[in-house]
Each structure stands twice: as C-alpha cells, then as structure tokens.
Structure 1
Amino acid sequence: MFSRCVGLVLLSAGLRVASGLNLQLATSGGNASSPLLYGLLYEDVYHSGDGGLYAELIQNRAFQGTTVNVDGSGQQVPPFRTLEYWHTEGSDVLTIDNAAHALSDALPWHMRVDVAQGATGDTGFWNEGYWGMDVKQATTYTASFYLRGDYTGEIRGAFWSNTTNSKLGDTVFDVSQSDSDGWIKYEKTFIPTSSAPDEKNTFHITFDGAQTSGKSLRFNLISVFPQTYKNSNSELRQDLAQALNDTNGKFLRFPGGNNMEGQSSPYMWKWNETIGPLIDRPGRPGTWGYYNTDGFGLLEMMQWCIDMELEPILAVWGGLYLDGEIISEENLQPYIDDVLNELEFLMGPTSSPYGALRASLGYPEPFTIKYVEVGNEDFLNGGIPTYVAYRFNRFYDAIRAVYPNMTMVSSIWIGYFNGQAPIGVVQDLHDYLSVSDMVAHFGGYDHADRNYPVLVGEYAAIYDAQHTPPNQLDNPTLQSATSEAIYFLGLERNADLIVGIAHGALIKSLHDEPDNVAMLKHSPTEIVYSMSYYVAKLFASYYGSETVPVAADSPYGPLYWAATKDAAAGTYFLKIVNYDGAASTPVTVSIPGKTGQAKLITLTAPDAYSTNTLGNSTSVWTETTLFNGDEVEGNHVNVNIYIG
C-alpha cells in the first residue's frame, strides 16, 4: 500500500463522491498568477557546470588547475595550476610550463611533453575526464588542441575504454609546423566506432615517438565536446539539458548563487572574462572547491534562455565576498559601472561600445532583461548593514536611471530596510527547511504585503523526520518532496505576490558531493531524477493564469490543495497533496457548470522515506483519463477521485 502521494487533476469536468473531503472550485474571484512561477537556479556548484551541464569532457583542459584550497582566514590559496587528471602514455615527461610565448594572456600556462631520447612507436598522454567520459556510437564529437613545437606527422586523438581495454574511436590530425610558427590550433570532428559499456573511458593523444625523440611539444586548451543540446552555442550536455527542459520551468536565475559572490577577493564572477574565444577566458577559483573554466559563460547562459524560452533573472555582484570582505561606499562606483557595462553588453544597440562587442560575438540583436538582482544572500557574514545603508540603493539608482522599467530584486528580506525600500522591489527569500517547517509555510504568504513581491530564489526540504540538523538528507525522500509540494500550494494560492520559485540545488555530480539534496544528480553517463524533480515538473507543467478559490468542508491536513485556471482555455488545475495521511481518502471535486473529462496524474512511492538513487528509482508517475461516471481507487492512488 502506498502511503504518500501528490495527486493532480487537470480539470475540465465536474467531479463528485458521496463521502470524504468535498472540494468546490469557484469559477471566478481569483487573482492573476505570475507567468513565471516555476523556474530554475543555476550556479556552478559541485560540478553542475564544469563536468556537468557544460558538455566539455576534458578536465583541466587549459592547465588552469582543479582543486581550490582555502586557508584559515577564508582566503583561497594559489597557485591553482596543476597537471591533475593528465597522465603520460609512456616514458615521456609532462611538465606545467609558462615559457614564452603564451597562448594568450588569459591562458599563460601549458603542458610541455618531453619525449624520451630514443623513443619509438606511439607516445603521448591521456586525460581522465570528469571521473570518466560518455562515449556513444553515432554521436559526433569535436576534438581540438593548440600545439607549439617542431613536428611533422600525425597526431591521433582516441577514446579508450578502461573496462574493455579497447579503442572506441579515433581521429587523426595532420600536423606540419616548426617552433617558429608559434601556437597553431587543430580541430577535427569524428564519430566513435563503438559505444562504451560504462563511464570508465579516457581520451588519448599520441604521436610518433621516433619523429619527436629527445624533443619537446607543447599543448594547451585540449578539448573534446560531444554534440550539445540542440547543437546550440549554449554548449549544454544533451541529457541534462533535456531533463531541465522537461520541467517546463519559465525562468532562469543566474549566475548564482554563492559562486557568483566569490569566496575571497578578487575572485567574484566577472562577466567580461566569461565571453569571447576560450583562449581569452582565464577562469577563476570557484566558491565550491574547484577551478571554474568559465567556458560556460554569460552568452552561453543567455543562449540557454533562448533554447528553453526562459525569462532571464540576472544576478550582479553587489560588493560582498563570502569571507566577509565588503566594498566600501567610496570604492563601490567601479563595480556599479561594471554592471552598467554588462547591461549595455546584453541590451545595448550595436552603435554602443558594448552592444557592438556583443554583435561581434554573434548576437547582433539585443537581449531583453527585465529582472536584475543585486547580490546573493547579502545577509551573510555581516552584509546586511552596508546592503541597507548604501550598496543596494547605489546599484538600484544607477540601473533604474538607465533602465527605468527594470524590476530590481533585493537579495535580503525587505523588512531589513525598515520601510525605506522602494515600492515594487522584489525580495529574494531562500528557504532551506525541515519538512515540518515547509508544511508550516503553507499559509505563510496569505497576508503578506503586496507592495513587495517575493522571489523564492532557492528552496529545498533538507531535513525529514529521520534527518535533523546538522544531518542533511542525502537525497530527497517522498516525505521531503511532498512537504515541498505543500509549500508550492501556498505559493500558488498567493501567485499574485510570488514572482517565482527555484530549487536551491539544481544539479550536482555524484562524484563530487552526493551527500545532500539536489533535483538532479549525474555521473558522466547517467542521471538520478529525484522526488523533488518530479514534484517540480508536475507542478510547473499544470498551472493556470489565475488562482481559483476552493471551498472545502474539512480543514487542511493531512490533505492540502490549491487550484488555478487557464482563463483562455477554461481549463482548471487542482493539486492535492496527501502528507503523512491515511492510505486512502475519498475526495469529491465539483466545478459548477462543467462536464466532460479529467486527467488524473499521481506521483507515488512505497513509503515516506522512499528515494531515487542511481539504478533504483522508486517514484511512480501515473496518468489516467477520467470520464463522467468513472471511479479511481486502489493501492496505487492515495487520493481517490470519483467522477460521476
């Protein structure tokens, strides 16, 4: 017997039963709902970007480094450059080097390959990838690298399976250059001849040992890309991108998140270092313990918005580093100017300097930005006094002076402004809660001040009844996901106030941080779709343009409900959540004047603590079309809907 479920009815019909909970949906009297209500938050956290959504297969491709350490004062400790994840093919020696001339100012370090004296046959090196690689037959891959040195002959790039110790596919680069030629880029597309049995695959670059005996070859920016989502400039990994698109979210909040703020000076996210050719992107030590390549930069994120028709909610740095360093008021103007430059880059005409730069990078038409958030979680590390005193207002005034219709978002609760915040400012509130607190928030916005809309920029139920602070859930359970669903119901009831909501952890790598919740977790070849993922998908996929009052003859608990209506189509959406309730509860639903059919969708699992893990998905999504006179009951549905 399933003991918990989320039930949803897509209604264009009248429903009734003889006993149990009776719900009557009104045909008028609701409020206009936010068109954006459900969306996505992106930041590169736990290899959600590099090694995740960003489709690059080579780790440490430009020798920028990987692991980032933090000292006792919270400062990130250089140097970051290493040869981690690179290995010699034979007796060659690999060395990190910055001898002139550099490939670019942004990428001054490279890998020098010293070939052993007397070498013969194939020699070279290989890369582990991000804990393996996904290699599929009939998928096109693009391999490229920059080379400096004296060599004429072939260089072979090949996928190898560590499991079968066999080559999966390769391509050959024809090389003819001398030391005086400097850096030359080589690029080839190819299709593997075999699919790998698992993720344990590597990429090898080899060349003729006899031709290079006793010599040195220098390599930089070694890259391998599979086909990307929609073959787009967004550079998104296909399966992860499709999973996100399938949630039917309507906005993307980016680029974070704590990763935008930076752990310490000067490592904030810098928009102008994430655009243009990859050789001009230096990357930076990210907040989450590893170096960011910034290959997935500002324009890639904007292309993501285009590809999935998402409203961009752009976060800009607000003067706070995570170690507590705050920019003083007298030193803040250059950072404000930088934000104005970023907005001109995105929205300016091609006659403007930064608009012309955007056009030169392939985007002549301006983007549309309607929302700008100043900072992220500026309540952290003593940030509230300066945010209220000058930081938010300085950014607000400067941006609104140029873009008077811009909706500005505060990264702290509006109450901290003591009534001095401009009317209409959106407040970004982050709720990482226990399941009981999630449920308690069901009515939390019923009487909130409508002058200050709310963006729930991050949420997650991180503790259930078996996990209490500080022991977070490893993965969302059915109990935690249904508590999030009840939270959603409260937001839908107040969707005239709530701008949008996004799960606080969108994607995490199973090889990096599997021990706390995320909507999706991934390996190089597979995805775990969490209970929270399916709840978010269910709610976002069935949602109307206005709220609908619902009359009931019983109080909330263990059943919770809310309804919306698509005014144009006349379609009603009723969502019912059974939280810690009886195994079966009859429900009557009626809509005056409606007849026809209904679609019942249920999300269920064996018990409250069921969870989805790699290779073991316990959630069950069921869809049933119901006609007048139909009855649905049984152990696969907790909320039984009778139609007649």
Structure 2
Amino acid sequence: MKLTVRQFFTLLAFIGCSVITAALELTVSGNGGNATSPILYGLLFEDVYHSGDGGIYGEMIQNRAMQGADLVNNEANRNLVKWHNWPGCILESDNSAPLLSSALPYQMSVAILPGAKGTTGMWNEGYSGFNITTATRYAATFWLRGYFRGTITAEFWSNTTGSPLGSTTFEVSQTASQGWIHYAQTFTVFNSAPDFKNTFHLTFDSAVVSETIYFNMISVFQQTFKDGKLRMDLANAVNDLGGKFLRFPGGNNLEGISPPNRWVWSNTIGPIENRPGRPGTWGYYNTDGLGLLEQMDWCQSMNLEPILALWAGYYINGVVIPQGSLQEYINEAMDELEFLMGSTFTKNGALRASLGYPNPFAIKYVEIGNEDFFDGSGSYTNYRFMMFYNAIHAKYPSISIISSLCIGSDPGRTCSSGSGWTTTKPPPGVISDLHLYKSSDAMVGLFHEFDNAPRNYPILIGEYAAIYADNDGGAIELDNPTVQSATAEAVMFLGLERNSDVVMGVAHGALMKSQNDEPDNVAMIKHNANSMILSWSYHIYQMFAHNFGSRTAPTSSDSSYGPLYWSSTIGPTGTYYIKVVNYKGAVTTPVAVTIAGSTARSARLISMTGSAQNALDSKASPITEASIAGADGVFSFTLQGVYSVAILVVG
C-alpha cells in the first residue's frame, strides 16, 4: 500500500508513537525539472591576507629571496625583514654582482665580525612561526656564492622549549670563482613542536668563513599535498569542500594596485629563482611561487574546472589602458592561452613543454578582467571587453567568456547603479560575474533573485559572502561567519539550485585568510602556521556541494517560503537530495517529505543546527548524520534551532 504523509503519521500514532504535526510538508516529483550546472559549487583563489604566500602555498620561509615582505606606499621594501643574525656576523641586503638572476636584484651578504668564534649564521621567523612535526618530511634548499669550505646546518628550533627539533647538514666546498651553487636536502625532525612558535636556522662555524659570503632563495617546504606545492592541511580542507571549479588568479590581486604591479603570467612560470614577484594588492610582497602552472596543477590535483581570469587593462587605482595601446595586452592574453592550450609546435606551447608539461590543458572558461564596475570611465563596455572578446572568440570559439560587469539591468541580475552593461550588451551566451557581499537578511532575499533571469546570459556568482550582521545597518563587518550568516548563505544556495540552469557557478569571496592578517572579517578557513579553523560557512558549503543532483526535482508544498526554504535535486542514479533551511523560524520544526512514486524505506539525514551567534572556535564539525526510517518514500524529521539546515538523501 502506498502511504500519504497523513496516513504515515496516523500509522505512527496507531503503533504507539506520539503524533507529529508537520510544520512543513513537501512532495517531491521525479519527473520534470531542469538540468543543473555540473560545476555549480566552486572556489575562488586570490592571494589575499596571506592566503597564498604564507597560506596554501607550501613555502615556509618568509622573505626567502630578500624581496622584502611588507610594502611601503605600495612598493617593495627591499630589506631583510623576518631574518635575524646569530652573534658573530652581520647580515645586509646586498645587490653586488654577480646576481643569482636578473629577477632577484638583492641577496643576503654575511660578514664575520673580527674576533668572532664559534657558531654563527642566521634565522628566519617564517610566517609567524613554523609547523614542525615528526609526521612529515621537510625540504631545505639555498643558493650560496663565495668561498666556503665546511658544514652548514639547517635546523628548526622551538622558542617555547628553547631546544632543537630537527636538522640536516650540507657539506660545502666552493670558491668565489664558481659563482652561485645550489644546495638541497630532504630530512625529518626528531621532535614535534608543542606549538607554532618555532624558527628556522642556517648556521656554521665562523672560523671557516674568511670573506663575505652571499645567500639567496633560502627555501623550506614541509611535505605537500600530493607532492605538489600546496600546504597539506589547507589543501586537504579545500579538497574536502567538494568544489568543482577554481576561479583564479582571482580578484583585485589580478588587477594590481597601480602600474606596473599587476599579474603578468609570464613572470610566474619557470624556476623560482627566475620569478621577480611583485608588490601585491593586499599589503605584502607576492613571490609568485604559486604561479600559473602551480594553479593549473592545483586544478588537476583536485579535479577542478579552471576558470581563468585575464588582466584586461585596468588597475585598481583607476589607470586604464587607452584603446590605441590595448592590443599589446590582448596579445599577452593570447600568448597565455596558447601557453596553456597550444600544441608543442607553437611558440608558447613549446615553452610549456620545456617546463615539464607536454600535454595541453583544457580551458573552457575565461573571464575578462575583474570588478570592472569600479572603472568609472566606461572603457570596459566602450572597447576593452569586446576587443578581448573578439580576439579570444575568433581563435577559441568554444571557450565560454565571462564579463566582470553585470549584463544589463534585467530581473535576476542584481545590478547596482552603474555596475552593468546598460546601453549595449555583449553577444548572447556571455556570462555575468556577480559579486554579492550582503547582510544576512539581504542574502536570504536572494532566494528568488534568479527565478525570472533571462536564460540567454548565464550567471557566475564569482564572489559571495554574508559579511554584515543585520543590527548594525551593514556598517560593521562580522568577525567570522556565524550560524546566522552561514544559514543565510544556505538560503541563497537553495535559490541557486532552483535556477542552476542559468546560474553556472558560485564561489565564496574569501576561501582562506591568515589569522595574523585578518582576524576580524569573514573567511571560510582561517589559518596560522600550524593550524586552521573551519567556519560555519565552510561546513554548510560542504554539505551542499557534496549533496547535489544533476537536475532539479519539482517540489510542492502547501506552505509558502519563509522562514522555511527548500529545494530538491535528483542525481543520475535516482538519488534524491531534499534540502530544507530554517532561517529565524521556530526552535523546533517538524518536516514531512513524500517522494512521489518511491518505495524507499530508509534515508540519510545530514543536518546542522545552532542557536548561538558565535563563530566556530575549533575544527570540530557541527554537521551530524543519521539514518532514518520511512515507508514508501515518506519520511519525517525535525529541524532543531532557529538557524538550521537539513539534507535528506534518499536512494
């Protein structure tokens, strides 16, 4: 016998269970619906607040090539910041010839003081410490110029215990005439550190140094994710999110604060000693060690679709490349695409192959610029976008091209005044990149935003975050995602899933940030040298990304939306994902679900609840999972808490 929802509850009462009155009754159909985007849930990477250098990029030494760490008036401050001398020697920033490379105009000189005896050398602070554990291995490398015959020891020390943690030695025998010589060792440590308060030292006997010696590109990597360049714990956390694309090199750091400090792809490839780096947009020097190929490796290691952003002639300070001079930069973009996708018979394809990548990459999505709505000159719509578009589309017609401006002011575009294409529009099929930073209530208001969006211009929400509490008028940014803000993001997700025939992707605007840089605004992941905190936003995104079907499943109810919101999708093998979010509703909310035509008697219930407004302060997940019983596709569960999320997985 096929049971209805009410018959199911009657049966429960008959067999002795307490009668439940559902606050929400849903009926889900397996027929109809639209195909969903296969890459709806994705990721944005931008080196912001040490999310790259000092974050997911595995390099542990800060200021490894004497490029400086901080900026002064948005320019490089060439010094030995983060480096310190042992007694008996003087360290100086030096630019005497011969240089290690033209890309690195400074090195560290080490001069022994008269009468010095015993051990001397230098030590580095890292990015506010080091993660030292016996569970992983370490790789230490450096370049040395000058006369030296003896042993150099690379060693980690704990500032907390005042004791060594592990070391390796380099046997060195070279003369000044030999120029720069590279040294590398892989080693493990004999003690794990009690915390992150650790330092890295290069030391030697002062007696073996008879003249000034020079060091450059002093590098230490801890064992990395899949032996690439990504820090293990952060990369594992990102991989566990379940994202399907990576939008990079991302955000304002692509554009650069002012000329000439923008992303230049050709400066981010090849040996690290040949990469000049640049003053980044967010107050520190970018090494560009996590360059174009490393980010493509990232995509491949996590099976992510690359969404490549191209610099499009605009700096954040308002400098715009005039139309007559733009072709040079279009040529640069075309060279970048040829480098990634060209055969080895092309100039740039051959360059890629020479760096160890003989097989071309597949690039299906390209974004022209980033947040060009800040350009008040109108150059993006007047000439910049279409000049790039025409060149790319002519050579690569299968690439989907993304506009950083909202296309038109049609319903479902969330265009703010002056932020979109108004009098003209690009060709149909061009994707709008919307950046949605909202209060929690305003984020919930996006649930219906794309219901009536025109389907001939797809949408990418390249950045989103609920960043304001609702009682401050949007003036004060949240310190961290809260239960409320993350649940608000979940409501938006439901609206995107219902419209994922036109919304092709969504990515949080702050994938990760260093706690040392920005402890007081939101990110999915906050990290320091040896640990991380996964936020409410992280966990809810993970719930949604891992439980999403290939088409929508029409769902009806006798209730209207708010404070309860829902959506349903179905996978290719017939698995249903029914999602329900309670935003500022009752503390206890019974829900009943009927899947039309189903005979299922068991399901998984994945849920998250919280009544406090605090951010998470540990790595413990707030998500619970349980098996629940039903009858003939009829299931019931209860949402607990005024902010709560549940996903019923059937099939």
Give the TM-score normalised by structure 2.
0.92
Assess if the C-alpha contact under 8 Å between 1:346 and 1:355 holds in 2.
Answer: yes
Q: Counterpart of 2:322 in structure 1: which amino acid?
A: S
The DSSP-based 3-state class of the residue aligned with 2:597 is coil
The residue aligned with 1:124 is 121
Q: How far does residue 117 in structure 1 lie from its aligned partner after superposition?
A: 1.5
| 2:17 aligned residue | none
Distance in 2 separating the partners of 1:467 and 1:94: 50
Residue in 2 aligned with 1:461? 466
Report the Cα distance in structure 2 between the residues aligned to 1:643 and 1:400, rounded to whole angstroms: 41
1:580 partner letter: K
- How far does the alpha carbon of each residue in 1:253-297 deviate from its partner, in whole angstroms, 9 at most, with x for none? 000100000000011100000000001100000000000000000
8 Å Cα contact 1:584-1:639 kept in structure 2: no
* 3-state secondary structure, aligned to 1:167: strand
* Deviation for aligned residue 1:466: 4.1
Q: Which residue of 1 aligns with 2:411?
A: none
Structure 2 counterpart of 1:165, from 162, 165, 177? 162
Alpha-carbon distance between aligned partners in 2 of 1:404 and 1:171, rounded to the nearest angstrom: 53
Task: Identify the residue that residue 385 of structure 2 maps to in structure 1.
Answer: 392
Asked if 1:584 is matched to 2:588, the reply is yes
Amino acid at match of 1:222: I
Residues 14 and 594 in structure 1, CA contact (< 8 A), matched pair in contact too: no
SS of 1:50's partner is: helix
Identity level (%): 54
**C-alpha distance in 1, partners of 2:388/2:285?**
29
Q: Determine whether 1:505 maps to 2:507.
A: no
Q: Does 1:406 align with 2:399?
A: yes
* Structure 1 residues 326 and 636: CA distance shift in structure 2, 3 A: closer
User: What are the ranges of 5 or more consecutive residues in structure 2 without an aligned counterpart?
Assistant: 10-20, 409-419
Query: 1:91 Cα shift?
Result: 2.9
Q: Structure 1 stretches of 5 or more lacking a match?
A: 1-12, 71-75
1: distance between equivalents of 2:4 and 2:636? 13
SS in 1 for 2:335: helix
- Which residue in 2 is equivalent to 1:6? none
Matching of residue 425 in structure 1 with residue 430 in structure 2 = yes
Using the alignment, how far apart are the partners of 2:316 and 2:532 within structure 1? 31
- Are the structure 2 counterparts of residues 641 and 14 from structure 1 closer, same or farther at C-alpha, using a change threshold of 3 Å? farther
Structure 1 counterpart of 2:238, one-letter code = L
Q: Matches of 1:371 and 1:616 in 2, distance apart?
A: 34
- Cα deviation for residue 14 of structure 1 reads 8.8
Which protein has greater RCO, CA pairs closer than 8 Å, 6+ apart? 1
* Letter matched to residue 537 of structure 1: Q
- Of 209, 222, 227, the residue aligned with 1:226 is 222
The alignment status of 1:285 with 2:279, answered yes or no, reads yes
Aligned to 1:174: 171
Q: Distance in 1 between matches of 2:293 and 2:80?
A: 29
Partner of residue 66 from structure 1, selected from 62, 69, 86: 69
Q: Does 1:54 align with 2:57?
A: yes
Contact 2:524 2:535 in 1 (8 A): yes
CA–CA separation in structure 1 for the residues paired with 2:265 and 2:497: 34
CA distance in 2, matches of 1:625, 1:506: 31
Change in 2 beyond 3 A, CA 1:346/1:641:
closer
Contact kept? 2:67, 2:77, Cα under 8 Å: yes
SS in 2 for 1:524: coil
2:35 maps to: 32
In structure 1, distance between residues paired with 2:506 and 2:554: 21
Deviation at 1:336, TM superposition (A): 0.1
Are residues 1:205 and 2:211 paired? no
Q: Select 2:146's aligned residue among 149, 153, 162.
A: 149
Which residue is 2:624 aligned to? 622
Per the TM alignment, residue 218 of structure 1 is displaced from its structure 2 partner at its CA by 0.5
Q: Is the 8 A contact 2:443 2:466 kept in 1?
A: yes
Quickly say closer, same or farther: Cα 1:642–1:602, change in 2 above 3 A: closer
Q: How far did 1:165 drift? A: 0.5
- Measure, in 2, the Cα distance between the counterparts of 1:377 and 1:290: 21
Question: What is the CA distance between 1:468 and its match in structure 2?
Answer: 3.6
Distance in 1, Cα, partners of 2:186 & 2:426: 54
Task: Answer yes or no: is the 8 Å Cα contact 2:587–2:641 preserved in 1.
Answer: no
1:442 is paired with a residue of what secondary structure? Answer: coil
Residue identity opposite 1:227 in structure 2: Q
Alignment of structure 1 residues 1-150 onto 2, 5 Å? 17=9, 18-70=21-73, 76-77=74-75, 79-150=76-147
Distance 1:462 1:519 in 2: 12
Per-residue deviation at 1:19?
3.5
Give 1:396's aligned amino acid. Y
2:352 pairs with 358, 374, 395, which one? 358
Counterpart contact for 1:118–1:210, Cα < 8 Å: no
Work out the CA distance in 2 between the residues paired with 1:606 and 1:640.
15
Distance in 1 of aligned mates of 2:191 and 2:550: 49
Q: Give the 3-state SS of the residue equivalent to 2:218 in structure 1.
A: strand
Q: Is the 8 A contact 2:153 2:169 kept in 1?
A: yes
User: Do structure 1's residue 305 and structure 2's residue 299 form an aligned pair?
Assistant: yes
3-state DSSP of counterpart to 2:54: coil
Q: 1:640 to 1:530 in 2, by over 3 A?
A: closer
Residue 406 of structure 1: how far off its partner (Å): 1.0
Distance 2:405 2:582 in 1: 33
Question: Do structure 1's residue 611 and structure 2's residue 615 form an aligned pair?
Answer: yes
Count matched residues: 618
Q: Taking structure 1 as the reference length, what is the TM-score of the superposition?
A: 0.93
Q: Which moved more, 1:462-471 or 1:575-584?
A: 462-471
Cα deviation code 1:123-160 (max 9, x no counterpart): 10100000000011131100000001111000000000
Opposite residue 218 of structure 2, the aligned amino acid is: I
Counterpart residue number, 1:261: 255
Query: CA deviation digits over 1:517-540, x for unaligned, max 9?
Result: 000000111111000000110010
Partner Cα separation in structure 2 for residue 407 and residue 14 of structure 1: 46
Mapped partners of 2:636, 2:580: distance in 1 = 17
Query: Is this contact kept in 2: 1:585–1:639, CA < 8 A?
Result: no
Question: What amino acid maps onto 2:182 in structure 1?
Answer: K
Cα offset, 1:88, TM superposition: 0.3
Equivalent residue, structure 2, for 1:272: 266
The 3 A distance-change label for structure 1 pair 438 and 631 is closer
Shift of 1:595: 2.2
What do you get for the CA RMSD once the two structures are aligned?
1.9
Contact 1:38 1:502 in 2 (8 A): yes
Q: What SS does the corresponding residue of 1:379 show, helix, strand or coil?
A: helix
For 1:589, the aligned partner's letter is: V
Q: Structure 2 vs 1, CA of residues 640 and 303 (structure 1 numbering), >3 Å: closer, same or farther? A: closer
1:9 corresponding residue in structure 2: none
State the one-letter code of the partner of 1:577: V
Mapped pair 1:569 → 2:573: yes
Task: Report if the CA contact (8 A) 1:323-1:381 is conserved.
Answer: no
Contact 2:577 2:649 in 1 (8 A): no
**CA–CA distance in 2 between the matches of 1:419 and 1:109?**
49
Amino acid across the alignment from 2:516: H
Q: Distance in 1 between matches of 2:492 and 2:314?
A: 30
1:473-501, Cα deviation, whole Å (9 max, x unpaired): 01000000000000000000000000100
The residue that corresponds to 2:522 in the other structure is: 517
Distance 1:89 1:25, change over 3 A: same
Cα 1:469–1:635 change in 2 (3 A) is closer
**Could you tell me whether the CA contact under 8 Å between 1:14 and 1:589 is conserved in 2?**
no
Residue deviations 1:615-634, cap 9 Å, x none? 486x6211011122686558
Asked if 1:492 corresponds to 2:497, the answer is: yes
User: 2:65 touches 2:106 (CA, 8 Å); kept in 1?
Assistant: yes
CA contact (8 A) 1:438 1:484 kept: yes
Contact 2:577 2:647 in 1 (8 A): no
Name the residue aligned to 2:290: 296
| Change beyond 3 A, Cα 1:641–1:352 | closer
1:446-478 per-position Cα deviation (integer Å, ceiling 9, x unaligned): 001111000000000001234443210010000
In structure 1, what residue type is equivalent to 2:382?
A: A
Aligned ranges 1:339-354 → 2 under 5 Å: 339-354=333-348
